[in-house]
Structure 1
Amino acid sequence: MKNDIPPLDALTEGINDSDLMLAQESSGMPETDSEVHTEIAEHPEKNRGKQQEEDPYWNGFLRNLETSDEQPDKSERLVCRLDRDLADSLDDCVIYNRSRSDMVNAIVRTFFDAYLPQLAGFRREKKSLFANFNEDSHEKAKNELD
């Protein structure tokens, strides 16, 4: 059998190559992800495309996010478990300086605004005995038994 594994020097060739680093620096591109994020954060108007401005879902999300601050009593919120990757991604977003909970609520409200007719078909049937309870008809039925 022939040994097809290249020598180690061939595999590591070009790593930490100064020519490669100079070419990257001279191209004017940011070197790190943090520089890219800083550039986007400093100039959001440059990075927002016309398509994004005309997107009804995005605009609905922003509208719902803005109105989340108008709700005076946030103690009415319930706890909902969120996948770690989603939570981390939301924490990386700074939109109107809102909290993760505000963003989750805005996302869910936007989803409900867009798909309420479709979601209505999946609505649970209330299984409580009180769901269809009518006191008048109950009294009438009780009197008929007596």
Structure 2
Amino acid sequence: MADNIPEIDDLTKGINDPDLTLTGTQEKEELQSQGVIQTFSRQDGCWKDFLRFLESSDRKADRSDRMVCKLDRDLADSLDDCDINNHCRSDLVNAIVRAFFETYLPQLVQYKRENKSLFMNLKKT
């Protein structure tokens, strides 16, 4: 049993050595923060598009060309909880969908059914 007892120096090694205990953690944190920054930069473009479309909804005096669309209750409640410059739920939904189309129109074109839509605005690359 005496052979199984570690030396006291082995037990206390690294207690006061910040390089030994934090090196791996710092590298992991740096990698994680880089991933978060990349995610935010991708989301930032979509968020800016959303805000731009939301602002442009103020300029439309005639909203009679809007269609009815049913939302799940949890989405409707969540949108109602958002107060972004006092915009209504319909304005928020339109801005969200327009920002989505702005970002993903090239991917969505493969699902196109009719010609009377935003797909006409797709620029061929």
Amino acid in the other structure paired with 1:85: D
What SS does the aligned partner of 2:84 have?
A: coil
Question: Which residue in the other structure is 1:106 paired with?
Answer: 95
Q: Which runs of 5+ in 2 are unaligned?
A: 1-39, 116-125
RMSD: 1.8
State how far apart, in whole Å, the 1-side matches of 2:57 and 2:114 are. Answer: 29
Question: Which residue in the other structure is 2:65 paired with?
Answer: 76
Report the structure, 1 or 2, having the larger helix content. 2
- Residue 124 in 1 paired to residue 113 in 2? yes
Q: Deviations over 1:51-102 (max 9, x none)?
A: 58x8111111111100011112101100000000000000000001100000
State how far apart, in whole Å, the 2-side matches of 1:119 and 1:98 are. Answer: 27
Larger radius of gyration: 1
What SS does the aligned partner of 2:71 have?
A: coil
Amino acid in the other structure paired with 2:87: R
Dislocated runs of 4+, deviation >2 Å: none
Aligned-pair CA distance for 1:125: 5.4
- Residue 85 in 1 paired to residue 71 in 2? no
Question: Which residue in the other structure is 1:56 paired with?
Answer: 45
Aligned ranges 1:26-37 → 2 under 5 Å: none
> What count of residue pairs does the alignment treat as equivalent?
75
What SS does the aligned partner of 2:51 have?
A: helix
Structure 1 residues 107, 125: CA separation in 2 closer, same or farther (over 3 Å shift)? closer
Q: Which runs of 5+ in 1 are unaligned?
A: 1-50, 127-146
Amino acid in the other structure paired with 1:69: D
Query: Identity, % of aligned pairs?
Result: 61
Q: What TM-score do you get using the length of structure 1 for normalisation?
A: 0.48
Amino acid in the other structure paired with 1:111: F
